[in-house]
Amino acid sequence: MKIVIVGCGRVGIELAQRLQQAGADMTIVDNIAASFKNLPASFEGLVVEGEALNEDVLLRAGVDKADGLAAVTNSDALNAVIGQIAREVYHVPHIVVRNYDPRWRPIHESFKHQMVSSTSWGAQRIEEMLYHADVRTVYSAGNGEVEIYEISIPAQWDGKLVNEVLRSTASIPVSVTRAGRAILPSDDCVLKTGDLVHFSATMEGAQIVKDQMMSAERN
């Protein structure tokens, strides 16, 4: 798989290391030559110095043969434009852009780019960890608008139906694991103490479940 990374900052370097471990063939582009000095000695990809908006720079990076492109600079404008050029001009099938300033999210959304907002996602994860200690996040979709959570069924909920526990429309049961065996739960699935329940929910839905758990503990 051929991947082009635009931006050799902290995000770009971490991404390059992960992709290399996965066996990807990659090129990383940056307009500051000194940025490449931060790459680990084990980095085996190509580096291209220059402005990513320059056609020659993009072609030297192999964008015309790329399977994917990640625009991860600290400029939302540059990330948006590079993503659009990669899609419209070079027909790169997989494009992900970094959202640096949350105020730019509507712009990226208007381009219909896959987007990762470290600021918004990070702030939401911290909030969840502060408020949802008993409701653990195991998977995050998008920028955290919908996540999959895990809870362990307390003794107070032994014998309850799954739709009693997850009665909110903002929570959807995904699986129930008992004695190491997972099932897809029906609405009339009876829960047992110690069951691991995974459910998909918004943050509001997760809060409802947590409130129910706290209420059960008090009773």
Residues 113 and 136 in one domain: no
Residues 98 and 205 in one domain: no
Query: Percent of the chain beyond pLDDT 90?
Result: 53
Domain boundary among 56, 89, 119: 119
What is the CATH number for 158?
3.30.70.1450
Tally of domains in the chain = 2
Cα distance between residue 93 and residue 3, in whole Å: 11
Per-residue tokens: 154: 């307390």
User: What pLDDT was estimated at residue 4?
Assistant: 97
Residues 153-178: pLDDT tens digits? 888 899 999 988 887 668 899 999 99
User: What pLDDT was estimated at residue 128?
Assistant: 57
Residues 73 and 159 in one domain: no
Quote the domain boundaries for residue 185.
Answer: 126-218
Provide the angle, in degrees to the nearest 10, between the axes of the packed helices 203-218 and 118-131.
Answer: 10
User: What pLDDT was estimated at residue 116?
Assistant: 84
Residues 144 and 54 in one domain: no
Residues 24-77: pLDDT tens digits? 999 999 999 999 999 999 999 999 999 999 999 999 999 999 999 999 999 999
User: What pLDDT was estimated at residue 67?
Assistant: 95
Residues 74 and 182 in one domain: no
**Summary mean pLDDT of the chain:** 88
Q: 0.85 exceeded by the pTM?
A: no
Give Cβ neighbours of residue 10 (< 8 Å, ≥ 6 apart).
none
| Residue listed under structure tokens 């609405």 | 187
Residues 78-130: pLDDT tens digits? 999 999 999 999 999 999 999 988 888 888 888 888 888 877 666 666 665 56
User: What pLDDT was estimated at residue 96?
Assistant: 92
**Based on C-alpha coordinates, what's the Rg of the chain?**
22
Which long-range contacts link 170-178 to residues 24+ away (Cβ below 8 Å)?
A: 170/201, 170/202, 170/204, 170/205, 170/208, 171/199, 171/200, 171/201, 171/205, 171/206, 171/208, 171/209, 172/199, 172/200, 172/201, 173/197, 173/198, 173/199, 174/148, 174/198, 174/199, 174/200
Domain boundary among 82, 102, 119: 119
Cα distance between residue 129 and residue 181, in whole Å: 28
Task: Choose between 109 and 133: higher pLDDT.
Answer: 109
What is the CATH number for 71?
3.40.50.720
Residues 48 and 81 in one domain: yes
Task: Choose between 35 and 210: higher pLDDT.
Answer: 35
Residues 92 and 168 in one domain: no
Residues 165 and 102 in one domain: no
